[in-house]
Amino acid sequence: MGRACTGKGCAVKQIFILGSSNAFGVGGENGGWADKIKKHYQKKMYQESGLGEICQIYNFSKPGATVGFVLDTYPDQLKHYGIKGQKVAIVSVGGNNAKAENTKDNYVSSVEKFEQQMGQLFDKLNQDFDDVMALGYRFYDETKTLPKSNPMTGGCSFFGMSERKNLIVS
């Protein structure tokens, strides 16, 4: 992941994880992929004869987040937590833009709005971070996931793979 810092006085690398439930770790027995990144770096830093504090990891993900949410919130997070040194953004967002709420055709975002917001997000991230990584989604069996009840609102969501296929940006 970019430049390594192995001596005292090195700038600290910061990793900002941005996204939705996938990045937050919802559904993982031992957390999600973001937790694995954190554990990896903590082991490198704090094991016997470790490298010391060379990295800070912030997970600003939120279940239910959309591209617009990340676009609106990450600048303040970067302003409040960013320090001098290498900054890396790892982003996993967009699935909630492809979902339909309460009925199968009430989509959160149109394909056009998704493409526009995703383009804005990555343009801004590439200006603000040294490195930007994007993680996507895997296909799944819709018969096991539809509809998904929302305990917060009492409604339901439809995450159809055909809708996600339409939101793939080339």
Q: Is 168 helix (H, G, I), strand (E, B) or coil?
A: coil
Q: Please give the pLDDT value at position 65.
A: 94
Q: How far apart are CA 44 and CA 86, in angstroms?
A: 18
Ordered by where they begin, the domains of the chain are 13-99+110-139 (3.40.50.1110)
Structure-token pair, residue 32: 């999600």
- pLDDT-derived band at 5 (thresholds 50, 70, 90) equals very low
Q: How far apart are CA 152 and CA 156, in angstroms?
A: 10
Q: Please give the pLDDT value at position 10.
A: 62
